[in-house]
Amino acid sequence: MTTPTQGAFITSAASTGREGEPAMYLRRAFSLAERPVRATLRLTALGVVEARVNGAVVGDEVLAPGWTSYRHRLVVSEHDVTDDLVVGENVLGAIVGEGWALGRLGWENKRNHYAERPALFAELVLDFGGRTEVIASDGSFRAGTGGIRDNGIYDGETFDARLEPSGWDAAGFDDSAWGDVETVEWPLEALIDSPAEPIRRVEELAPVAVMTTPSGKTVVDFGQNLSGRVRFTVTAEEGAVITLRHAEVMVAGEIDMETVRTAKATDRFISAGGTDTWEPRFTFHGFRYVEVEGWPGELDPAAIRAVVTHSDMTRIGWLETSDPLLNQLHSNAVWSMRDNFVGVPTDCPQRDERLGWTGDINAFAPTAAFLYDVRGVLGSWLRDLALEQKAMGFVPWVVPDVLSTPSSPTALWSDVAVSLPWALYREYGDTGILAQAYESMTTFIRQVAGLLDDDGLWSTGFQYGDWLDPDAPDDNPAGGKTDRHLVASAYLCKTTREMAETARILGRDQDAAEFGALAAHVRAAFRREYVTEKGRVAGETVTGYSLAITFGILDDDQRAHAGDLLARLVAKAGYRISTGFAGTPLVTDALSSTGHLDEAYLLLLETGCPSFLYPVTMGATTIWERWDSVRPDGTINPSGMTSLNHYALGAVVDWMHRTIGGLTAIEPGYRRVRIAPLVGGGLTSASLRHTIAAGDVEVSWKREAQSMTLTATVPEGVTAEIALPLHPDAEMHEVGGGTHSWTYGVPVATGGSYDLDSTLKEIADDAAAWRAFFDAFSTHFPGVPLDGTAPEAAFMTVNTMLEYVPGASDELRGDLAAALARVSEGASS
Ligand code: BGC
């Protein structure tokens, strides 16, 4: 801390810290003979706190001090309150709710993870110019209660306006009926200055509809799944109760609370009579819909707002394309990120969980770091991770750790200790991030090195595997198609390489040699166990191939062959997605980097269930936890893990930035960049903007019938390699700062022309044609496989094939001919 601490943690002598207790109100009156030159309030709490000075709310933070590993690091925020003080009597007040320190956290229904009782820490530092006085939280405070009858992050807040003591936070209030305070022990060395942007009210949304449901309930639709709460203004009679229930989704015309599990997500306001504006203070919900009960008369949409609440980070990345569905997918990823950065990076903002799940942020980190400046929030979270890892001897699966069972090292989850600092370094180019995390990174890698079997594989212990593979059984999300230990060893190939690079960058030569050797050892073991000489990957799954291709495990020849096999698998699945958390961030890269851009686009643009765009077609405004959290018939997947707001599967947006937007960093921090959009998927334009240290990079391209325009704006001091998309001579340029534009002719697309006399192979060699053909076939024979790559496909025409299909109707024949005619036309237009 910058200033020595004088305050203590204080609590009401009457507080118990048990569930359902009213929030604690604290006040201290003091007299000033003169106004200070400067007055600074330093504030934190065990619980969540809102401070007042002379009746005014201090600052614009909400849910302060946010959530950190409190015993190691408890954030103290500083507020300038100079203008709020007067000569004469002044009052410093604070309300403390239960928040993360006391409230229940996790699905295990456990509470009081950090503290038995709520407590306030405050220091009002009064600088009189040459002399300083401090009004600090101590035994001179008085304690009472007020309108907040109960409050909890998961369950919501109840405010009874009749019980709010009028003027309690200003001079002249008689607090003689209030009680004493007591000191609570807490390590003052844990207090730290704010390391990240605080949680704030970032935006307000007006309702898009107010509806009456079939059962007669009033439901407000804010049009967007968000994290935050509702603020309303109401005129009501004394004792009127207004109840708000928050939900992500409506099923059969009514709000559905299944996705919030046991979280009550319910706020209540009890009127003292008259007109009030109210918003809960000590809770937040993940919701799009609010069911309002008890509203007097008709609910005027102007009376109610959704207040979007999250860590107030700076936006630095944007992408827009000519495809509205892709734009919605991008928007969904942005919103899921916003909704899940409420202090710590969480899995979801709505249910009885909202924990700092390591695997989720590991999958999404490159996307997050591009969209927002996350150095504050994720830098702080990594400090917590390192401290808890040191104290516990393992990287917890959730940080801060509130699970009752100890975690064990797992790929994609625990190895966030290595891959997150690495991702942040790649994005922001700051070696300080690596240096800060170095001990945590090396400890993790050495721990896993000690677990390898004699062959050098990570073949034992619990693994999450390709979590939520759509083919995993509903009750076993870790039981996907791809062998869990294959996933683990593949991720270890990646993290050992990142570790070796990190050591090299930091000049730790001996470590670099150690980790380099380990990386080579694990890679060789993986290849022996899982890869054939030609490049076939054991298990033959999309995730398995994606890992082997993108993690540099294969040689060049093997890589090309594996890419072909992967493309075949993806086509065979009808471009439905078949990956979970481990494979999804990689599959489009694995395809586009092995010459299968068309297949990557087909996968991205597929809308059937499960696919990237299926949720978008179902009206999703955020990324879902499961590919089919809502099933095609509109019902919620009954597995109990069906959040509509989990960012992990939105990691494909990183590929969209690099491939559709076309911007990649050649050097960490974008000192040198590559601008090379890969045009496909029928897109006709895209524009990307990214704020980097040197300024804004902008890329936009537009494809017209016979020409292409690329415009790139590069900040001074940055060098850009430009590869002109679809240029007939594959022209490249190297440019510096400024705006550069190229317009050039492109060959008219000359895709093939197909009919029923084409061979299956001819059609299969053109991904778009095969897809149209296969789709038409599948409407007649759902689930029946067709293999355009089998040896006989080279000579078997569609007409010949139809002779072998029992029950091939004229209608099927007609549909196949029409589908082939459509692609042939599309290709020549
Ligand atoms: C969370 C996930 C998390 C997983 C791992 C779930 O309940 O919501 O996103 O990574 O558990 O066990």
Q: Report the distance separating Cα 715 and Cα 368, nearest Å.
A: 22
Please state which architecture CATH assigns to domain 663-745.
Sandwich (2.60)
Q: What is the pLDDT of residues 129-156, one digit of tens each?
A: 999 999 999 999 999 999 999 999 999 9
Cα-based distances in Å from 121 to 7, 136, 723: 6, 8, 57
| Residue-level pLDDT at 749 | 63
Q: What is the pLDDT of residues 346-366, one digit of tens each?
A: 999 999 999 999 999 999 999
Report how far ligand 1's centroid is from the alpha carbon of 110 (Å): 17
Quick one: which atom of ligand 1 is closest to the CA of 643?
Answer: 8
Strand order in the sheet with 663-665: 663-665, 672-675, 719-723, 732-735
Contact 304, 207 (CB under 8 A): yes
314-660 — its CATH code? 1.50.10.10
Contact 311, 599 (CB under 8 A): no
Q: What is the pLDDT of residues 716-764, one digit of tens each?
A: 999 999 999 999 999 999 999 999 999 999 987 666 789 998 888 888 8
Q: How far is CA 256 from the centre of its chain?
A: 23
- Pinpoint the alpha helices (H) of 531-651: 542-550, 556-572, 584-592, 597-605, 614-617
Contact 701, 708 (CB under 8 A): yes
Question: What tokens does 380 get?
Answer: 């702080």
| Residue-level pLDDT at 4 | 55
Computed over every residue of the chain, the mean pLDDT equals: 95
Number of H helices, E strands in the chain: 18, 35
Q: Report the distance separating Cα 634 and Cα 628, nearest Å.
A: 10
Q: What is the pLDDT of residues 11-60, one digit of tens each?
A: 999 999 999 999 999 999 999 999 999 999 999 999 999 999 999 999 99
Q: Cβ atoms within 10 A of the Cβ of 473, count?
A: 11
Quick one: which atom of ligand 1 is closest to the CA of 360?
Answer: 10
> 392 Cβ partners below 8 Å, 6+ apart?
401, 406
Q: Report the distance separating Cα 219 and Cα 823, nearest Å.
A: 45
Q: Is the pLDDT of residue 829 over 50?
A: no
Q: Whose CA is nearest to atom 1 of ligand 1?
A: 347
Q: Whose CA is nearest to atom 8 of ligand 1?
A: 347
Q: Is the pLDDT of residue 828 over 50?
A: no
Collapsing DSSP states into helix, strand and coil, what is residue 157?
Answer: strand
200-311 — its CATH code? 2.60.120.260
Contact 220, 304 (CB under 8 A): yes
- Pinpoint the alpha helices (H) of 278-430: 324-339, 358-371, 375-392, 416-428
Q: How far is CA 104 from the centre of its chain?
A: 22
* Pocket of ligand 1 from Cβ distances under 6 Å: 347-348, 353, 357, 359-360, 464, 641, 646
Average pLDDT over residues 582-603: 97
- Which among 609, 612, 610, 587 has a CA at the least distance from the CA of 600? 587
Q: Is the pLDDT of residue 82 over 90?
A: yes
Q: Report the distance separating Cα 351 and Cα 348, nearest Å.
A: 7
Which residue of 357, 398, 469, 584 sits with most ligand 1 atoms within 8 Å of its CB, as the best mutation to test the pocket? 357
Q: What share of the chain is helix, strand, coil (3-state, %, to 5)?
A: 30, 25, 40
| Residue-level pLDDT at 526 | 98
| Residue-level pLDDT at 800 | 86
Average pLDDT over residues 422-437: 98
Q: Report the distance separating Cα 268 and Cα 156, nearest Å.
A: 8
Quick one: which atom of ligand 1 is closest to the CA of 357?
Answer: 10
Report how far ligand 1's centroid is from the alpha carbon of 478 (Å): 10
Instruction: Classify burial at 188, counting beta carbons within 10 Å of its beta carbon; exposed 0-12, middle 13-18, buried 19 or more.
Output: middle
For the chain, percent of residues with pLDDT exceeding 90: 88
Q: Do domains 9-196 and 200-311 have the same CATH topology?
A: yes
Report how far ligand 1's centroid is from the alpha carbon of 117 (Å): 29
Q: Report the distance separating Cα 638 and Cα 629, nearest Å.
A: 9
| Residue-level pLDDT at 457 | 98
Contact 254, 214 (CB under 8 A): yes
- CATH of the domain spanning 9-196, picked from 2.20.28.10, 2.60.120.260, 3.40.50.11540, 2.60.40.2130: 2.60.120.260
Supply angle C-alpha 176, 164, 74, rounded to 5.
Answer: 85
Report how far ligand 1's centroid is from the alpha carbon of 645 (Å): 12
Residue with token string 């009752």: 404
Report how far ligand 1's centroid is from the alpha carbon of 346 (Å): 10
The residues pairing with 105 across neighbouring beta strands, listed in sequence order, are 110
Element (H, E) at 491: helix 484-505
- Give residue 552's identity as a one-letter amino acid code: G
> 768 Cβ partners below 8 Å, 6+ apart?
598, 602, 751, 823, 826, 827
Q: What is the pLDDT of residues 265-274, one digit of tens each?
A: 999 999 999 9
Supply the pTM of this predicted model: 0.93
- Which among 357, 348, 302, 334 has a CA at the least distance from the CA of 224? 334
Q: Report the distance separating Cα 827 and Cα 829, nearest Å.
A: 6
**φ, ψ of residue 167 in degrees (nearest 5):** 75, 20
Report how far ligand 1's centroid is from the alpha carbon of 634 (Å): 23
Please state whether 749 falls in left (phi above 0), alpha (psi between -120 and 50) or beta.
beta
Report how far ligand 1's centroid is from the alpha carbon of 501 (Å): 30
Q: CA torsion, points 521, 526, 527, 528, in degrees to nearest 10?
A: 90
Q: For this structure, is 123 an active site residue?
A: no
Element (H, E) at 763: helix 760-764
Contact 401, 350 (CB under 8 A): no
Q: Which of the residues 123, 197, 320, 353 is marked catalytic?
A: 353
Contact 7, 123 (CB under 8 A): yes
> 732 Cβ partners below 8 Å, 6+ apart?
721, 722, 723, 724
Q: Let me know how long the chain is.
A: 829
Which residue of 641, 643, 644, 649 sits with most ligand 1 atoms within 8 Å of its CB, as the best mutation to test the pocket? 641
Which residue of 395, 467, 627, 645 sits with most ligand 1 atoms within 8 Å of its CB, as the best mutation to test the pocket? 467
HEC sequence for 196-210: CCCEEEEEEECCCEE
> 789 Cβ partners below 8 Å, 6+ apart?
568, 761, 764
Q: Is the pLDDT of residue 529 over 60?
A: yes
- Which among 483, 493, 494 has a CA at the least distance from the CA of 459? 483
Q: What is the pLDDT of residues 782-814, one digit of tens each?
A: 878 787 877 788 788 898 888 888 777 889 999
Q: What is the pLDDT of residues 694-724, one digit of tens each?
A: 999 999 999 998 999 999 999 999 999 999 9
Q: Which of the residues 320, 498, 625, 762 is marked catalytic?
A: 625
Structural domain spans, the chain = 9-196, 200-311, 314-660, 663-745, 760-828
Which residue of 340, 354, 360 sits with most ligand 1 atoms within 8 Å of its CB, as the best mutation to test the pocket? 360
Q: For this structure, is 204 an active site residue?
A: no
Q: Is the pLDDT of residue 230 over 70?
A: yes
Angle between helices 556-572 and 584-592 (to 10 degrees): 110
Quick one: which atom of ligand 1 is closest to the CA of 358?
Answer: 10
